[in-house]
Structure 1
């Protein structure tokens, strides 16, 4: 009998450093041998100052959808920006962000208006 079996590590429960209200559960990833870096702000910014700072999905989505220039300034590596976008589009980072641009004009009406002006 093997007594040396690895026990699964317990998930971390941390608070979002940005909004201070959300609790985040960070799971251990066996294939990489470390905790998931999806919510690790130090991973995205590549800044050692933020290495142990965790950010919730809602704050990440809000940054991406509402503050594009800040997103590009903070996450300056093109590879990380592309990965971040893929995580948002595939729903891996799944948060709620308020709509920034709300208008009563539907998209087809705006396109028709554009074609008339040309």
Structure 2
């Protein structure tokens, strides 16, 4: 991701992309099975140590087409409990951390869309 520490810096943070483009663009893969979906996008502000700020947005989508792929149940996460407040990606102090990488909180991302 191009992030270094301390402090964690770089241009690959999602917030840097939003600030530069004033939007976030995502593509719904053609391989996704038709149906109703809830997509959640979130910015997580980490600029105050031990005081994470969550800025979630949701969109309801109706997908049509002839895709057949669905993520396994292990990739379905409950909102808002997908990440605990003790998750290292939530409670990191970006100004004094000795971390050299950052892992977003929550579970793994399903890459099956792009297989």
Higher relative helix content: 1
Larger radius of gyration: 1
Same fold (TM over 0.5): no
Q: TM-score scaled to structure 1, two decimals? A: 0.23
**Greater RCO between the two (CA within 8 Å, min separation 6)?**
2
TM-score by length of structure 2 reads: 0.24
